[in-house]
Amino acid sequence: MAATDLKANFQNQMKEIDEKIIQIRNELKKAEEYKLKLVGGLETLELIEQQETGEVTHDFSSREFPNQETRAAENPEDDLGRLPESTEE
């Protein structure tokens, strides 16, 4: 294979992998949102159970979720939620 063919092949592979990375990031975001809904459902059920029995059976406050800074560090292309440092020009 000539150098130009290799270069074209590598560029195509880069494009394909970039598209796949975007797809996987979107799937991860959906999975994290679904997990958050499940945790919310568990917390709701726990609150209902506490109201019925009057006792605390589980502490959900120890669950870890990625905060805005962690998500930004893991995905630098995703700057949603970031505000400009200054609005003056």
Residue 89, pLDDT score: 45
Residue 69, pLDDT score: 57
Residue 25, pLDDT score: 98
Q: Which residue numbers in the chain have pLDDT < 50?
A: 89
Q: Would you say 42 and 60 are in contact if contact means Cβ atoms under 8 Å apart?
A: yes
Give the predicted TM-score (pTM) of the model. Answer: 0.53
Which stretch of DSSP H or E encloses residue 33? helix 3-53
Residue 76, pLDDT score: 56
At 29, list the tokens. Answer: 């975001």
Q: Is 8 left (phi over 0), alpha (psi -120 to 50) or beta?
A: alpha
Between the alpha carbon of residue 35 and those of residues 27, 29, 42, 83, 89, the distances in Å are 12, 10, 11, 27, 41
Q: How many CB atoms lie within 10 A of CB 11?
A: 10
